[in-house]
Structure 1
Amino acid sequence: MSSSAVARVTRLRDPHAQRTLTCRRVFGAAAAMLDESAGPDVSVPALAQRARIAPSALRTHFPSLDAMFAELYLARVTELPLDVDPTASPRARVSEQLRAVTLVVADEPRLAVACTGALLRNDDAAVAEARTRIAAEVRRRIAAAMGMGAWPEVLETLETLFWGALLQVESGAVSYRVMATRLDTMLALVLPEEN
């Protein structure tokens, strides 16, 4: 039986999906602006214009530019695949995870400086919240790489190695790539190969 009535389509709003799309536009615009400019300066009006949103909407999503860069780093880290080879040694598995997180912005030097600088801010509650979520993701990756039964003290030591490495990179002492290699050396001291 057919009807001449037109079917009504109801569109459901998904605020999370809309926020995700907006964040992706903002993150892409920020990365492009840093890549194209000679300096690390990104302003709210310029970023909003580049991302095609109102400055007030940008401030609604991100209370500060540092919060936006911290969230951008978080997005990059959480988008990394979490594949753990069960046949590899714990050291090799942890190395793979920490190397991936360490190098997530290594090929974008200006973005790396902006993200790392933002993550080290201690006067911005939104940055602190993003940093907490990044720390949880780093811990999740280390725990997955270590496997069941890993001592909490070992997990904490490995996390401290990662955050110390990030601080050294921010200080300009070493590059991300050099630090990834140094992390391998540090891991060899903390996690001896199994026989």
Structure 2
Amino acid sequence: MSGHYESTRRRLTAKQAETVSRLTHCAVEVLREKGFAGLTVRLVAAQAGVASATAYTYFSSKEHLVAEVFWRRLSAMPEDTRTGEDRTTCVVTVLRSVALLVSDEPQLASAVTTALLGRDPDVEHLRMRIGIEIRKRLITALGTVSEDDQDLLEGLEMLYAGALLRAGMGYDSYLTIADRLESAARLMLA
């Protein structure tokens, strides 16, 4: 994405967007070193060279910060615009790409699961935006969604949500989850 990012709390100037970008980047670095339990907004702020008070103007909690990291990665992920492929292939591509979004960073992946389950209003807002973005991608992959397809769409949403929760809890790797998502989606779309 180019230009100004929309923050959960407000519109950002270019300078503010740079600060938020540094904070989200440093959050991933701190997660790699200390895990979610050791992550604090203050620690991230120090690593980013930002005052704690400034960091808290953008992020209400560490859960909010981690949810923002995931949101930014998801929104920066290119939309699949395959034409001529069947809808099953397109849906599988969407589900695999979402499942593998944080697969190469286990600390971040685990933190995202914990963060997105939080009750912080800013996290709830991002969780809604994330769900809408994934729904939009699934609708695009399905093509025209008829009234009969609403149950299918909701089933696919439940499928990826449950699969990502399972991976985030450590029951399976994200790669295994991506494979299982593919198998289940193919069964649903058959």
- C-alpha distance in 2, partners of 1:39/1:114? 5
- Structure 1: 5+ residue runs without aligned partners? 1-13
TM-score using structure 2 length: 0.88
Equivalent of 2:72, from 69, 72, 75?
75
- C-alpha distance in 2, partners of 1:16/1:82? 26
Q: Which residue in 1 is equivalent to 2:99?
A: 102
The CA deviation string for residues 73-130 of structure 1, in whole angstroms up to 9 with x for no partner, is 0111010000221211111101111111111111011111111110122x21111111
Equivalent of 1:178, from 148, 162, 176?
176
**Structure ranking higher in helix proportion:** 2
Point out the structure with max Rg over C-alpha. Answer: 1
Q: Is the 8 A contact 1:34 1:111 kept in 2?
A: yes
User: Would you say 1:49 and 2:46 are equivalent positions?
Assistant: yes
Match runs of 1:45-194 below 5 Å: 45-121=42-118, 123-150=119-146, 151-192=149-190
TM-score using structure 1 length: 0.85
Q: Percent identity?
A: 34
Q: Is the 8 A contact 1:40 1:110 kept in 2?
A: no
Deviation at 1:44, TM superposition (A): 2.2
- C-alpha distance in 1, partners of 2:15/2:89? 38
Letter in 1 for 2:145: G
Q: Which residue in 2 is equivalent to 1:22?
A: 19
- C-alpha distance in 1, partners of 2:93/2:124? 26
Deviation at 1:16, TM superposition (A): 3.7
Aligned-residue CA RMSD in angstroms?
1.6
Give the SS at the match of 1:15: coil
The CA deviation string for residues 136-161 of structure 1, in whole angstroms up to 9 with x for no partner, is 01001101111123422211111111
- C-alpha distance in 2, partners of 1:16/1:138? 27
- C-alpha distance in 2, partners of 1:153/1:39? 35
